[in-house]
Structure 1
């Protein structure tokens, strides 16, 4: 009689079918000495026919890994739940992991300290073989923990100078930090936006940015400042927010109420950029005749508004896929590497126009 479909196949089942001991099955399936080649081949063939797969817990206890990688987000769940960037990133990560039969352990926590605690717990419990690290920060505490644990990792995003120094120090001191990174040039992307707006006659540009502690926020802020100085823009500045719709709208209402308001606003969040269209309409401002609007990452939201939002476009699914592939390479014993992914490029749409006279 066949086993009920909800019952998990065990080594004992295989031993009974093969007419051998459970220890013989264990030795054969784990490619260890103690059984003859003929018996080993017979047991393996039977296991394949029955659809047997090794228990993740058993593999962990045997020191053979968990076939799982971790991904921890230290962000508020509300903006994260509607972020097109992170949803597409997850799709790419899952594609690469599924191809190799790896699982993904995903958690959302409330800050860097909780994220470090999650890494310690995952590693101590043999739940992950490595982790994907997002949102590199200034003076990032996570890399010291990764080095202490010897936990392989891939950073999605460029590391800060201080983090790179920490990595170098760890290697020179015989540390165990094994970190690759996959990054895109946010600074060049911001420069492209500013240059395009400048060519259209815009001189008053506001950047509604993300959290100040994130490295990519600082790169975008500094790039805007650098381009403004180069082009002689005396009224270009960044305003820090938490990526949420509420803070984006509040910042938009504030700058549009100024006596000399901006002629163009660049948003680090597509959700904030969409919400800003409503804030502009309430003040009877036309987009793009009175105000040009740019979203940092493209999404279906950007393509569904009227006018459609100009946005930075990138292969976010491919970005996530590449990061996961680099982590799998690390787990296969490969060296830590730094990989620059394709830079986001501006796609001008109906929300960008010449600066008002």
Structure 2
């Protein structure tokens, strides 16, 4: 026998059960004047009994919110399918949003102008209550757009150089110290005797890429090391190609630092295909840890952090903004370097 799907309770159902008008139900549920406290309590009890929940569309039309948070990624779509960082980040964000029954609206944009256009459209259409922004740029056009719209946002990652966050009334910032993290990697490799260190970096326009490169050069100057950086689009293809160029150079590095787990695994594959022993002849380090780093042979030395917790904290900061809190800057836990089988003493 075919069952009829259960119908969602409506304001009319609540009015009939409570013995009041539909307008009285609306006043009671929206906290507006016009009904007595006795009626308000009765209506709310009946709504709970019926399992009534407000419609997101109705909330948007009334100006009370969309019950949705937005996330746009302006990265090559080809790099996202294997990028475990974003999967873990989103899982942490969604975990917190679920406690408030908020949805997550996700979109991949072709570039930054397209991302900015998405924010304008979402805000005009009441599609989102706030957004989580990733990959801050050195000269980021998104921040003025968010300021202009008054769209509540949390930016994950260090703001552009010279921006201390005080000029953004509706933008909070959650960041980890990329410079100190890079310094911990250089300290580890220097301690193993490596004097020639290469850096296979991510997208060159990202603020954190520039900070990592700057720190690497600063540490090299201080320690008398020979270093170089090669930007990529974070894809395994470009990670592999950068590794080949480094190995083919006149004076190849004895250690390579990769800006993601995907880049590092791609580099390790190139090194293995050439029969170069790791770490006896070359040491490899991944910036972000993942199951990929822990299942290679040898296992990859990596910077370890709880990325899902990073996402949870970002969502909590956004909820605090949506609840009327002030925008603020929050430094996250510094990733720690976990030495594994891919790093060892530099070959003599």
Q: Which residue of 1 aligns with 2:318?
A: 327
Matches within 5 A, 1:302-317: 302-317=293-308
Q: Distance in 2 between matches of 1:317 and 1:198?
A: 31
Q: Distance in 1 between matches of 2:220 and 2:303?
A: 19
**Counterpart Cα distance in 2 of 1:49 and 1:99:** 20
**Structure 2 unaligned regions, length at least 5:** none
SS at match of 1:161: coil
Normalised by the length of structure 2, the TM-score is: 0.96
Which SS does the other structure have where 1:221 is aligned? helix
Q: Deviations over 1:20-72 (max 9, x none)?
A: 32112111111222223322222211110010001111112212112211111
Where does residue 204 of structure 2 map in the other structure? Answer: 212
- The alpha-carbon deviation at position 6 of structure 1 amounts to 4.6
- The secondary structure found in structure 2 opposite 1:277 is helix
Tell me the equivalent position of 1:117.
Answer: 117
Task: Show the counterpart of 1:103.
Answer: 103
CA distance in 1, matches of 2:266, 2:311: 27
Distance 1:247 1:127 in 2: 36
Partner of 1:41: 41
Alpha-carbon distance, 1:301 to partner: 0.4
Q: Secondary structure at the match of 1:81?
A: coil
Task: For residue 252 of structure 1, report the CA deviation from its aligned partner.
Answer: 0.3
SS at match of 1:259: coil
- Of residues 247, 253, 263 in structure 2, which corresponds to 1:262? 253
**What is the TM-score of this pair, normalised by structure 1?**
0.94
User: How many aligned positions are there?
Assistant: 346
* Partner Cα distance (1:30, 1:149) in 2: 26
Match for residue 286 of structure 2 among 280, 291, 295: 295
Partner SS for 2:80: helix
Query: How far apart, in 2, do the equivalents of 1:138 and 1:12 lie?
Result: 54
Superposition RMSD in Å: 1.5
Following TM superposition, by how much is the alpha carbon of 1:162 offset from its aligned partner in structure 2, in angstroms? 4.5
Contact 1:139–1:162 at 8 Å: present in 2 too? no
Alpha-carbon deviations, 1:292-341, whole Å to 9, x = none? 00000000000001100000001211111111111111111111111111
The answer to whether the aligner puts 1:283 opposite 2:274 as a matched pair is yes
User: Runs in 1 of length 4+ with deviation above 3 angstroms?
Assistant: 3-6
Separation in 2 of the partners of 1:293 and 1:116? 37
Q: Is the 8 Å Cα contact of residues 93 and 324 (structure 1) preserved in structure 2?
A: yes
Q: Which residue of 2 aligns with 1:222?
A: 214
What are the equivalent positions in structure 2 for 1:1-357 lying under 5 Å apart?
4-164=4-164, 168=166, 170=167, 177-233=169-225, 235-357=226-348
Counterpart-to-counterpart distance in 2, 1:70 and 1:335? 20
Paired residue secondary structure (2:333): coil
1:174 maps to none
**Do the aligned partners of 1:93 and 1:320 also contact (CA within 8 Å) in 2?**
yes
Contact between 1:158 and 1:215, CA under 8 Å: does it hold in 2? yes
| Contact 1:202/1:354, CA 8 A, preserved across alignment | yes
Partners of 2:24 and 2:277 in 1: how far apart?
76
User: For the structure 1 residues 72 and 5, does the alpha-carbon distance in structure 2 shift closer, same or farther, using more than 3 Å as the test?
Assistant: same
